[in-house]
Amino acid sequence: MSNAPLMPKATAVWLVENTSLTFEQIANFCKLHPLEVKGIADGEVAAGIKGNDPITSGQLTREEIAAAERDENRQLQLAVSKVRLPEPARRRGARYTPLSRRQDRPNAILWLVRNHPELKDAQIMRLAGTTKTTLQAIRNRTHWNSAALSPVDPVSLGLCSQMDLDFEVNRAAKDRPVVEEDHGQTLVPAEVTTRSPHEERSTEAEVFGNAPAKRPEREADIDVDSVFAKLKDLKVKE
């Protein structure tokens, strides 16, 4: 039996909105990446997904959440269910979509393409019950109704379950390379900050290659008295 909640992403949405748990605590409990949980908090991930209360579903207790909020190093523990649910049988091939829902498939495909670019074509086809021709037309914006399409969560449309969506996303995430987070500009070394302004300007000029040409050495001071004496001698000769 898996240690993850039944609807990990929907549960993460609820925990982000209703608790003060850290991103790491929520990610560890829902088996997600901390950056994905941060994206949920920023509104960039799981747009349109309704939060699932893990307390009412018996997966967490209020005492467990309160204890984890007091100690950020504590990890949430999944409550032991008293009812043993059988593993759902997964179908192979395309999912059958009722006639009343088929008109919503392009909107669901557009939502999957925009919000989960890591999904492969075969995965999107299984979730939305569509064909490769329709999928490629929506990707390339050559669909006959592209101007009127609007992305809608396939779970809310009833095209697939949240468990199926999370399963495909988690399987696609295993093949996705880990992106290192950009921590921004680092601190300047102490030898640079303690350098005098004249040395700093000269160093920057040497680094960027725009150092000004060196000025010639200052000429020796001119003897004014000798100059005026020569002028007087010229006047006397005249």
Q: Is 30 part of a structural domain of the chain?
A: yes
pTM of this prediction?
0.39
In terms of domains, do 104 and 160 share one? yes
233: in domain: no
33 domain-assigned? yes
Are residues 60 and 113 located together in one domain of the fold? no
Question: Mind spelling out the 3-state secondary structure of 46-74?
Answer: CCCCCCCCCCCCCCCCHHHHHHHHHCCCC
Q: What is the pLDDT along the chain (238 residues), one digit of tens a residue?
A: 457 788 888 999 999 999 989 999 999 999 889 998 998 888 888 777 888 889 888 888 899 999 998 998 899 888 876 656 555 555 554 555 555 566 788 999 999 999 998 899 999 998 888 889 999 999 998 988 888 889 988 888 888 888 889 999 888 887 665 555 555 555 656 665 666 655 555 555 554 455 555 555 555 556 667 766 777 666 655 5
What pLDDT, on the 0 to 100 scale, is given for residue 207? Answer: 46
Regarding whether 108 and 65 lie in a shared domain, the answer is no
Report yes or no on 57 lying in a domain.
Answer: yes
- Please check whether residues 104 and 169 belong to one and the same domain: yes
Nearest CA to 159 among 103, 93, 92, 85? 103
Q: How many domains does the chain divide into? A: 2
* pLDDT the model gives residue 1: 42
1 is a domain residue: no
Q: Which of 156, 174, 192 is the last residue of a domain?
A: 174
Q: Please state, as a whole number, how many other Cβ atoms lie within 10 Å of the Cβ of residue 161.
A: 15
235 lies in some domain:
no
Contacts of range 82-86, beta carbons closer than 8 Å, 24 or more positions apart: 82/58
Is 80 a domain residue? no
Q: Are residues 111 and 57 in the same domain?
A: no
Phi then psi for 135, rounded to 5 degrees? Answer: -65, -45
Q: Are residues 104 and 52 located together in one domain of the fold? A: no
Q: Find the domain containing 31 and state its range.
A: 8-70
Residue at which a domain ends, from 148, 174, 200:
174
Query: Has residue 151 been placed in a domain?
Result: yes
